[in-house]
Amino acid sequence: MADTIQQSHVQPFDTTQAGNRQYLLMASAGIDADIVHRLPGKRSGNIRHGTYIRPILQTLAGYHFPEITVTDVQTERTFKGSHVIVSNFRQYGFDLKLTPDADAIDG
C-alpha cells in the first residue's frame, strides 16, 4: 500500500446513493445488514473472517426474514424479497461472487 501511495497511483471508483448517504462498496438490507450491524460491538482491531462468526450465529439464531420491497426509480419496477444487496464490486466477504457483472469503474 505504501508503494501505491508513493507512486500516486489513483483508481477512480463509482459510488451509489441511498437516501442522503453515499456508498462505495455496497448497501444491503436483510440478513447481511443485520450481521454487519452486530459486528462493531463485538470486535477489536482489524476485521477478519473469524470476526464474523459470532454475529452470524447470533443473527441465524433469531432472524425472521421480513419482506423487503424495493423500487427501481429508473424503471419503476418493484421487487419483493427478504435480502437486498446493491453492490459496485464483483465479490464480497468470504470471496462471495454476489454481483458477477458489477463494474466499479463503468461510470
Segment 94-106, tens digit of pLDDT: 677 878 888 888 8
0.75 surpassed by pTM: no
Q: How far, CA to CA in Å, does 105 sit from each of 13, 20, 24, 33?
A: 5, 22, 11, 24
Inform me whether the pLDDT recorded for 61 exceeds 80: yes
Give residue limits of the domains in the chain.
2-95
86 contacts 32 by C-beta, under 8 angstroms: no
pLDDT tens readout for residues 14-30: 887 777 888 887 888 99
Give the HSE-up count for residue 16: Cα atoms under 13 Å, Cβ half-sphere.
15
Cell of 101: 457483472
